[in-house]
Amino acid sequence: MIRRMGMGLLLLLLPVMALAGTTGKISGIVKDKDTGQPLPAASIALVGTSIGAIGNQNGQYTIINVPPGIYTVRCSYLGYQAQDVINVRITPDYTTSINFELSATTLTAQPVEVLAERPFVQKDVTQSVKFMTTEEILNRPIRGYQEAVATQAGVVSVGQTNYIRGGEPMRSPIW
């Protein structure tokens, strides 16, 4: 009889034990050490894991579903010195509060050298020249040589007539 009651009590408590929390939570706020202003979008992570969070616009963050254990929590923000809090103990069903105050730091970067070449300019040619290959013409959505000419710089197309550099159609060297 006692054995049956013990078994019944165990069966009644089993769902309650299953609902008990198995993870903890970390929350806090990230601020500038000098001004006390919140740092929005700061990155908070548990070192050595893929668990972390990003702070909101008020600098507040919450990391949920953290397995029990001892962790190092790192907070970083661009332009500020990263800060670590070591030996943070996470227990199930408990929220651990960690606030960060980060100090501004100077960012240094390596010099960047940009190299470019200038396009070749023919000094003896006084007008613009554009040679189009057959392949270029075939790859364009055009239906004739007049439409091919109309795609060039300095050419204005009005209806079926092309005006080259503002000249009259009769003076255009295209037949």
CATH C-level class of 21-102: mainly beta
149 contacts 130 by C-beta, under 8 angstroms: no
The residue whose two tokens read 């103990």 is 89
For the chain, the straight-line distance linking the first and the last C-alpha, in angstroms and rounded, comes to 112
Identify the bridge partners of residue 71 per DSSP, sorted by sequence position: 88
| Number of other residues whose CB lies within 10 A of the CB of residue 80 | 20
Per-residue pLDDT of the chain (175 residues; tens, 9 = 90+): 677 766 665 566 555 555 557 899 999 999 999 999 999 999 999 999 999 999 999 999 999 999 999 999 999 999 999 999 999 999 999 999 999 999 999 878 889 888 887 667 777 777 767 777 888 778 888 777 777 777 777 777 777 777 776 677 666 665 5
The overall pTM is greater than 0.75: no
DSSP strand E in the chain: where? 24-32, 43-46, 52-54, 60-66, 69-76, 83-90, 95-97, 100-102, 155-158, 161-164
Q: What is the predicted pLDDT for the residue at 8?
A: 62
Q: What per-residue confidence (pLDDT) applies to 161? A: 75
Specify the pLDDT at position 20. 59
Assigned token pair, 32: 């500038």
Number of alpha carbons in the 13 Å side-chain half-sphere of residue 44: 30
What distance lies between CA 8 and its chain's CA centroid? 55
List the domain boundaries for the chain: 21-102, 134-171
Structure tokens at 36: 């006390």
Distance in angstroms (rounded) separating the CA atoms of residues 24 and 97: 11
Closest CA to 45 of 72, 78, 81, 77: 72
Phi, psi dihedrals of residue 68, rounded to the nearest 5°: -60, 145
